[in-house]
Chain A
């Protein structure tokens, strides 16, 4: 059966909108129909913004009718999903937490403000691990999202709902956040493209903070061209975020199809050979490297000797930043407040004890401990030194290579409940994505094959700081060559698709 409108890419839909072949309203209704067909099973959305979306689509159609397609922004009229850690003015933003269940932000995050102004159509706010802490989506206070490829498995996390929305056609593209791999890992497990730009490329204003020196706004899409388009719409300096890069907005689609002839690819062999990497993942990644070589790139082994300490450093740095960022949830100014406390400290403590879930409490405890008197130097201070060593590894590697490649995740999607009792096992699913958060370097995941069980495998491409284009160009060349076109079986059972 031919794909529905909601199964097309943003650039395909953009072309059809401009030709007058379809309206933005047609496109949106196709997405909303898919939401009705699959959301109940997948638990993708925490809020579906149907009315706002219809109004936004009507505005795009009005523009096309009255002005034609002149200067219509690339993102106009394309259904978008936003992870619920990104604030949206007047639309509930829970961060997947009970403590923010009643929270309706009075302001938009910068990324959404830019998209909204460009005619983007928000289908809804997506489920995620609470405060973006998790690798499976199972830490959401609102129940786990399921993977459209196999409902008994997780879609990855923490941007679980955004990944599932794009993989299942409920949205054409989406924003998530990537603090330790929370966009790339779910993109890998859900068979779509995930792209984390350089730290500071996209403003963090309105991103409900988890670990400020590691948090990135990042994109989900069904192809690499769409990743470039979506990034171009949200990137660029923002005076409201002091850590945002000074560069103005740019077109990240430029040079996308320049090919990889002469490109120097470093293959992180140590990661590929790690015991926990599934054989199918190893084989698919090696085959993809071979394809890059066949396309004219050179590939050589590269070592990142300190990367094996990155996970340990991350689980000191991220919880430390989390413990101070989440101190703001005190039951005073917004969000949940535990009833009946007799004094303010008891109110703070019970609000936080009742409002936060398990993993968030665990990380607040971990961060508080490692920052507390007598332990700061031994843990947090040492972790910051390891961060320096990991960055030096990357600098050394990028003096010889244009991009580095590896598996995105050691495994394909795992079963719900498989790792919930063992935090360390869960943390290990981000072992290959965390280094690029410590260094701030841009990194993408693209689908590169299926496991014997029919689950998608992700290929990670990392680039130099501020060199998003090399990552996108490599990803695009490989994507065009591989022609990955599998889609979740769930979609075959959906009426009309």
Chain B
């Protein structure tokens, strides 16, 4: 059976503004894809360890050596909006008063 998902909740978590048409279509399509994907449960037994990475490596460190980095200007060059050498965004909290 297709899986029922709360599209509005997921879209909010994913920070995606969706149109009404997209919400309806994704609800249907994701339900079908998840129904197919659920097959993993048929074989994923408790005694099988999970693998998150094909070649496990841990604590990979490189020498902590100073080197060239992006300049302030380069880092800001692609920003949609800047102000006084900083990234500028719309208000995060309402101004008081």
Contact = CB atoms under 8 A, between A and B. Distances in A.
Interface of A: 102-104, 106-107, 198-200, 213, 239, 242-243, 245, 306, 309, 311-313, 315-316, 323, 327, 330-337, 341-350, 352-354, 356, 358, 361-362, 364-366, 368-370, 372, 378-379, 381-389, 391, 423-424, 427, 438-440, 465
A385 B60 CA distance: 24
Interface residues of B, number: 52
9 contacts: A198-B55, A243-B55, A306-B43, A312-B38, A341-B90, A365-B10, A383-B44, A423-B33, A465-B54
Majority secondary structure of chain A interface residues (helix, strand, loop or mixed): helix
A104 B60 contact: no
A106 B50 contact: no
Contacts, number: 177
Contacts of A198: 55
B80 A313 contact: no
Given A336-B80, A344-B92, A391-B51, 19 more contacts: A104-B77, A213-B54, A312-B36, A312-B40, A316-B40, A332-B87, A346-B17, A346-B90, A352-B16, A361-B22, A368-B10, A368-B14, A369-B10, A372-B10, A378-B41, A384-B51, A385-B43, A385-B44, A388-B49
Contact of B87 (A243, A245, A333, A382): A333
A391 B37 contact: no
Contact of B13 (A335, A341, A344, A372): A372
Contacts of A369: 5, 10, 30, 34
Contacts of A103: 78
Most buried by A among B39, B54, B81: B54
Given A239-B62, A243-B57, A352 B37 contact: no
B81 A385 contact: no
A382 B78 contact: no
Interface in B68-82: 70, 74-75, 77-81
B30 A356 contact: no
B10 to A, nearest CB: 5
A372 B11 CA distance: 12
Nearest to B49: A388
B51 A388 contact: yes
A427 B67 CA distance: 43
B81 A337 contact: yes
Given A365-B10, A365-B11, A385-B44, A106 B51 contact: no
A369 B38 CA distance: 13
